[in-house]
Amino acid sequence: MLATMEVIPAIDIRGGRCVRLDQGDYARETVFSDDPVGVAKRWQDEGATTLHVVDLDGARAGHPLNADVIRRVLAVASVRVQVGGGIRDLAAIQHYLDDGADRIVMGTAAVKDQTTLINAITLFRDRIIVGVDARDGLVATEGWLETSEVPATDLMRRLSELGVSRVIYTDITRDGLLAGPNFQAIAAAVAEASSLPSPVAVIAAGGVGSIEHLRQLAGLGVEGVIVGKALYTGAVDLREALAAVS
């Protein structure tokens, strides 16, 4: 019997619209909706218990640029919402939490500015999630535009030591392609995260293209999986997906 795994629809916002990027490439964008608020309503109406909202412009610029749109999403959401993209200081975290976000996803700041991360964990604790975005096993930063020299598993170990309780592990090379997640890398991430003195929960992202992919991820022990393009293209039906892994 598979462990229960949360299926989390992604709402990626660029220029105020709901889009998806292939492999994190800003030049390979598909626009799925001009109404992110309507998309949020749709996913929660279909049974989602958490939404994953990302300011893609903010991730690239290093500070929030679609905060007004995200604020409108938060205003209509009756489910948990985790927000990421360009959130690199305590003020931005506090603004989104005040607007109704349940969790904040930090990425680049966790790699480049651990003082901010430590302060965020001290102040907000389990409401902070760190995005571990990997390309060929190395952590990518700056909205996936740069690849660091930090191995993803090393970062997860360090994050655990700092008090992080949850990460989102994304394999960038699979993201948006629907060809399947990097199961081997995700399994290694889960094994690393669960073996730490302070275990870390793993949410997987990148590459889901079928309900069978979701079943396989559930078997690896991830807490949840973020699904984007597969939902927007109809390759995965959210209601069927939720039934398959619950």
CATH of domain 6-245: 3.20.20.70
Exactly one of 34, 35, 68, 133 is catalytic; which is it?
Answer: 133
**Quick one: three-class SS letters along 24-42?**
CEEEEEEEEECCHHHHHHH
Q: Which of 168-177, 201-210, 229-238 has the lowest mean pLDDT?
A: 168-177
Q: Residue for token digits 């989602």?
A: 48
User: For this structure, is 133 an active site residue?
Assistant: yes
- Residue 75 CA to residue 27 CA, distance in Å, equals 31
Of 12, 57, 171, 175, the active-site residue reads 12
Q: Which DSSP state fits 4?
A: P
Neighbour tally for 112: CB within 10 Å: 15
**pTM for this entry:** 0.91
pLDDT tens-digit profile of 93-142? 999 999 999 999 998 666 678 899 999 999 999 999 999 988 877 787 65
Could you read off the pLDDT of 52-94 as tens digits, one per residue? 999 999 988 989 999 999 999 999 999 999 999 999 999 999 9
User: What would the two tokens of residue 123 be?
Assistant: 């102040």
